[in-house]
Amino acid sequence: MPLERKTRRLQALAVGIVLASIVAAYVFTLGSLPFVGKILRYLFFLPIVMAALWFGWRGGVVTALAATALYLPADHSEEAMVEAVDLFLIGSIMGILADRERRKRILLQHTTRELSLAYQQLQDSTESLRRAERLSATGQLAAGLAHEIRTPLASIEGAAEMLDGDLAPGLRSEMTGILRKESRRLSRLLTGLLNFARPRPPEFRSSDVRELLSGMIALAAPSARQSQVDLRFEPPRTAIPLYCDGEQLTQVFLNLTMNAIQAMPTGGAVEYSIETTPDAVRIRIADTGPGIPIEQRDRIFDPFVTTKPDGTGLGLAVTAQIVAAHQGQIIVHSIDPHGTEFVVELPVRQEATQ
């Protein structure tokens, strides 16, 4: 406030100095240089406009009164009287316009402050929501982990108690097999959890999608033959360059393929295809299995969500995480009359073509 008061005083002083200077020059040249005096009379508009802009219509009218009171006693001509009326009109009109503009500016500043406050509150609310979502996700992850660990631990505990007694060699071997099986299951669970919780950042390099898919199919072929699943892939004739982490994408394709194979224990087929656009590469993996129920389709990429009795529910979660790290997306579709299709869409990076 003190700074604003000082500024207004300086503005009033400037108006007074300009007005006094023009009046003095006008009175001095009134009789000797009428042409110059006429020009100076027009200059009376200058301090009036200044006062109107700075102090509103009251400032404009007061300055017009002061100008008239100063120069009319020295000039009683009809032209000077008309000029005085013009001064009042200009002072009033300019002052009204300046007041209106000032009110708009104050309203705009007030609205801006309110919007800034609302935006800050929105940011705070968004951050609180994110914290709540993170806590909720952590709770769900902990609950899912506890659930997944409880089952193999119960089997291990039961087998260990039976091994304490006198068992026939065949039953002892069966209990030992349970211990090994459930231990491996816990190991897979912890490995998947670590991959999900602390994913390795992608190491991007130029790769050929055809080679990645072909290499992955060779890895999955023994499991596919055991389940009588036919892996069908006709590689394109030309290379499909992609700037990516080939090892991680191989894991993505392998996870999707193994899920498809395990969904078809009595046989079936998995078909692979590659589509390219100037901006993206789409890898389609379609199976002829029973499909994914509609109620589970939106949650299949959540951790610990699985339809397999011995699954950890982390494979697809890690898969989605890897695709997201490549700035891509993974989409799931149902195929009529039965089957599931996964589409992995990855952006084409300029480095792949260099």
Residues of the chain with CATH 3.30.565.10: 205-353
Is residue 353 predicted with pLDDT exceeding 50?
Answer: no
- Mean predicted lDDT score pLDDT of the chain: 79
16: left (phi over 0), alpha (psi -120 to 50) or beta: alpha
- C-beta pairs of 253-257 under 8 Å, 24+ apart in sequence: 253/212, 253/213, 253/216, 253/283, 253/285, 253/344, 254/216, 254/219, 254/220, 255/315, 255/316, 255/318, 255/319, 256/285, 256/319, 256/342, 256/344, 257/216, 257/217, 257/220, 257/224, 257/231, 257/285
Reported as a single tens digit per residue, the pLDDT across 40-71 is 777 777 887 888 888 887 887 888 878 777 76
Task: In whole angstroms, give the CA distance from residue 23 to residue 43.
Answer: 9
Percent of the chain exceeding pLDDT 90 equals 22
Reported as a single tens digit per residue, the pLDDT across 158-200 is 777 777 766 667 777 777 887 787 777 777 667 766 666 666 7
Is residue 115 predicted with pLDDT exceeding 80?
Answer: yes
Is residue 349 predicted with pLDDT exceeding 80?
Answer: no
Superfamily per CATH, domain 205-353: Histidine kinase-like ATPase, C-terminal domain (3.30.565.10)
Percent of the chain exceeding pLDDT 70 equals 76
Task: In whole angstroms, give the CA distance from residue 208 to residue 189.
Answer: 31
In the prediction, which pLDDT does 290 show? 86
Task: Please compute the mean of the pLDDT values over residues 223-237 and round it to a whole number.
Answer: 92
Burial 325-348 (b: 16+ CB within 10 A, else e): ebebebeeeeeeeebbbbbbbbeb
Q: Is 32 helix (H, G, I), strand (E, B) or coil?
A: coil
Q: What confidence tier does 345 reach under pLDDT thresholds 50, 70, 90?
A: very high
